Amino acid sequence: MWIDRIIEHDPGKRLVAIKNTSLAEDHLHDHLPATADKPAMPLMPASLIVEGMAQTAGIMVGAVNNFREKVILAKISKAEFAADILPGMTLRYTATMDRIDEAGAVTRGIVEARTNDPGLGGDVWQSIGRINLMFSHVDQNMAGLEFPEENFVFGENFKAVWGASGLVC
């Protein structure tokens, strides 16, 4: 899971989740490791930031039908970033629903990072990216094909995050 907690949910309209980055996460160390002439600069890869938004928006889409359908990411229509995410930062993913129907959904997302920048007024949320995604309802769009009942997005880890956020499946 690339989100730690769901903090807001307005069913069918909006879902907000957070992710805390930590040096305990191995993937941070693989990006810009130390070289002979430069110190290490661990950071969260943009692809994992996109995945965090995909999980946030995918949960919002799946919740519309009470997670009865398999929701998969079909397209990343926009992914723009203005800053790197370093260990110790907290990300806030805000996903909003543009459209949903039996075939799938279109979402918009804003990624913010909590920063303690005195020039910005101290401890504030700063927008660092925009990610727009399209999702497909697999059962509707690939009818007749066999899919396993397990759904990796809505599995046990998801249920733990969902439940810890005070939401009921």
Per-residue pLDDT of the chain (169 residues; tens, 9 = 90+): 899 999 999 999 999 999 999 888 877 766 677 788 888 778 899 999 999 999 999 999 999 998 888 889 999 999 999 998 988 899 999 999 999 999 999 999 999 999 776 676 668 899 999 999 999 988 766 666 666 665 556 777 777 888 888 877 6
Q: Does residue 89 form part of some domain?
A: yes
- Rounded-to-integer distance, Cα 21 and Cα 36, Å: 26
Task: Check 9, 27, 29, 31 and give the catalytic one.
Answer: 31
Q: What distances in angstroms separate CA 87 from CA 91, 104, 167, one per listed residue?
A: 11, 35, 28
Residue tagged 């926009």 (tokens): 78
Identity of the residue numbered 21: T
Q: Does residue 98 form part of some domain?
A: yes
pLDDT of residue 27: 75
pLDDT of residue 20: 94
Q: Does residue 167 form part of some domain?
A: no
DSSP 8-state code for residue 159: H
Q: Is the dihedral of CA 1, 157, 127, 88 positive or negative?
A: negative
pLDDT of residue 145: 65
- Rounded-to-integer distance, Cα 132 and Cα 50, Å: 9
pLDDT of residue 101: 95
Cite the DSSP H helix spans in the chain.
26-29, 46-64, 138-141, 156-164
In the chain, count of helices (H) and strands (E)? 4, 6
Q: For residue 37, what is the domain's CATH number?
A: 3.10.129.10
pLDDT of residue 164: 87
Max Cα-Cα span within the chain: 58
Residue 69 structural domain? 5-148
For the chain, how many structural domains are there in total? 1
**Three-class secondary structure of residue 13 per DSSP:** coil
- Rounded-to-integer distance, Cα 56 and Cα 123, Å: 24
Whether 29 is catalytic? no
pTM score of the predicted model = 0.87
Q: Does residue 100 form part of some domain?
A: yes
Q: Does residue 68 form part of some domain?
A: yes
